[in-house]
């Protein structure tokens, strides 16, 4: 089997404020991660250093990565990855997509089968469909193909609303839907596999045979929602320990208030047969963070 490339160490950058909260369907899970707080600010810079490393495996296939390493073309690794990010002025979502990729690999331990970035031939390409496709092993004979959906909005609720709306469209769209995406994976996932035996094993998981009745593979969704956190001047003036406790409590309350809303979205679109893995992170001045992050990832900041 293929293994995740993002290690558990990635999670050291976050307080894990809500751990695998089980939603009403008894399958789906929500996790709230808060970026480590330093001097009354979220410690974005150390997180960005970590993301600069992981953007390579996010943007490049394993075969691309391996070939460059074997040929000792180390300088091209980052350059090729940087080129696949859109310019920050028109880049609404790739920072969130990278974060979702890292959470699905490190926390969920679901290795990548495909990301949109793998399919780009230039940074201006816009690839429709899921933000990424991952494979989750539940047991020896039970698997899930996890499709990624990332949103960054001013409020947590708005991000959730947009995410579930996009998922519903993705499931029901006549062309760019789940079946199209799985066929896309089938066409490209050999770029993530290094040997023929593993390739055949993964193919049986992606396309299980009802005749053999040995493997069960369902579809699931990984959702990332980045949202803005507004702080008044009184909170900003708190001591470091009080600031951390206050902010962590505030964010937890914001997220807990939307548990029922998440369940209502599942009801609204009748998404009862799917499992959802939801990851959320607050930011201070989310629009500024997004733009500066893309600049950094492109080597321009």
Tens digit of each residue's pLDDT (9 = 90 or more) over 261-283:
999 999 999 999 999 999 999 99
Q: What is the Cα–Cα distance from 69 to 61, expressed in whole angstroms?
A: 12
CA dist 280 and 225 (Å) reads 5
H/E stretch holding 293 reads helix 286-297
Per-residue model confidence (pLDDT) at position 117: 76
Give percent helix, percent strand, percent coil of the chain, each to the nearest 5. 50, 20, 30
- Tell me the pLDDT of the chain averaged across its residues: 89
pLDDT interval class at 129 (50, 70, 90): low
Structure confidence at residue 15 (pLDDT): 98
Give the end-to-end CA distance of the chain in Å, rounded to a whole number.
Answer: 37
Q: Is the pLDDT of residue 217 over 80?
A: yes
pLDDT of residue 110: 97
Average pLDDT over residues 146-158: 96
pLDDT at 95 exceeding the cut of 60: yes
Helical axes 196-206 vs 178-188, angle rounded to 10°: 170
- Most confident by average pLDDT, 128-132, 165-169, 294-298: 165-169
State the pLDDT at residue 153. Answer: 95
Quote the pLDDT of residue 92.
64
Average pLDDT rounded to a whole number, residues 111-127: 64
Statement: residue 122 has pLDDT above 60? no
Distances (CA, A) of 127 to 116, 184, 185: 6, 12, 14
More confident residue, 182 or 14: 14
Count of C-beta atoms within a 10 Å radius of residue 62: 18
Task: Summarize pLDDT for 164-189 with one digit per residue, the tens.
Answer: 999 999 998 766 678 877 878 777 77
pLDDT of residue 89: 63
pLDDT at 124 over 50: no
For the chain, how long is the longest CA-to-CA vector? 65
**Per-residue model confidence (pLDDT) at position 149:** 95
Strand-pair partners of 136: 144
| Bridge-based pairing state of the strands 37-38 and 41-42 | antiparallel
Could you give the percent of the chain with pLDDT greater than 90?
62
User: Do the beta carbons of residue 225 and residue 159 sit within 8 Å?
Assistant: yes
CA atoms within 13 A on the CB side of 30: 23
Residue 158: CB atoms within 10 A of its CB come to 14
pLDDT category at 126 given cuts 50, 70, 90 is very low
Mean pLDDT of 148-175: 92
According to the model, what pLDDT value does residue 86 have?
76
Average pLDDT over residues 212-240: 94
**Residue 151 confidence (pLDDT):** 96
Task: Identify whether the C-beta of residue 80 lies closer than 8 Å to the C-beta of residue 47.
Answer: no
| pLDDT greater than 70 at residue 289 | yes
Among residues 174, 172, 199, 178, the alpha carbon closest in space to that of 188 is found at 199
Q: Where are the alpha helices (DSSP H) in 34-83?
A: 44-59, 62-70, 74-83
Which whole number is the average pLDDT over 103-123? 80
User: Which range among 24-28, 65-69, 97-101, 114-118 shows the weakest confidence by mean pLDDT?
Assistant: 114-118
Mean pLDDT value across residues 52-66: 89
pLDDT over 50 at 219, yes or no: yes
Whole-angstrom distance, CA of residue 47 vs CA of residue 200: 37
Listed range (4-13, 197-206, 260-269) with the worst mean pLDDT: 197-206
3-state SS assignment for residue 144: strand
């Amino acid at each position: 089997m293929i293994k995740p490339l993002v290690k558990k160490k990635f999670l050291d950058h976050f307080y894990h404020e809500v751990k695998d909260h089980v939603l009403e369907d008894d399958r789906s899970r929500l996790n709230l991660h808060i970026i480590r707080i330093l001097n009354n600010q979220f410690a974005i810079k150390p997180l960005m250093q970590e993301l600069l490393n992981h953007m390579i495996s996010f943007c490049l296939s394993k075969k691309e990565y391996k070939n460059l390493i074997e040929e000792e073309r180390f300088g091209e690794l980052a350059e090729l990855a940087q080129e696949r990010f859109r310019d920050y002025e028109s880049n609404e979502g790739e920072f969130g997509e990278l974060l979702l990729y890292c959470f699905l690999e490190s926390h969920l331990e679901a290795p990548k089968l495909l990301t949109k970035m793998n399919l780009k031939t230039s940074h201006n390409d816009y690839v429709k469909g899921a933000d990424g496709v991952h494979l989750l092993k539940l047991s020896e004979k039970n698997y899930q193909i996890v499709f990624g959906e990332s949103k960054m909005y001013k409020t947590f609720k708005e991000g959730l609303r947009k995410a579930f709306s996009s998922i519903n469209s993705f499931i029901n769209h006549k062309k760019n839907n789940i079946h199209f995406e799985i066929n896309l994976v089938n066409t490209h996932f050999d770029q993530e596999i290094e040997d023929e035996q593993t390739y055949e094993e993964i193919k049986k998981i992606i396309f299980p045979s009802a005749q053999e009745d040995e493997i069960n593979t369902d579809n699931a969704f990984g959702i990332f929602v980045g949202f803005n956190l507004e702080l008044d001047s009184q909170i900003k003036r708190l001591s470091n320990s009080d600031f951390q406790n206050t902010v962590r409590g505030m964010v937890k309350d914001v997220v807990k208030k939307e548990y029922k809303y998440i369940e209502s979205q599942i009801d609204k679109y009748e998404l009862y047969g799917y499992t959802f893995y939801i990851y959320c992170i607050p930011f201070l001045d989310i629009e500024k963070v997004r733009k500066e992050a893309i600049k950094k990832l492109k080597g321009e900041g």
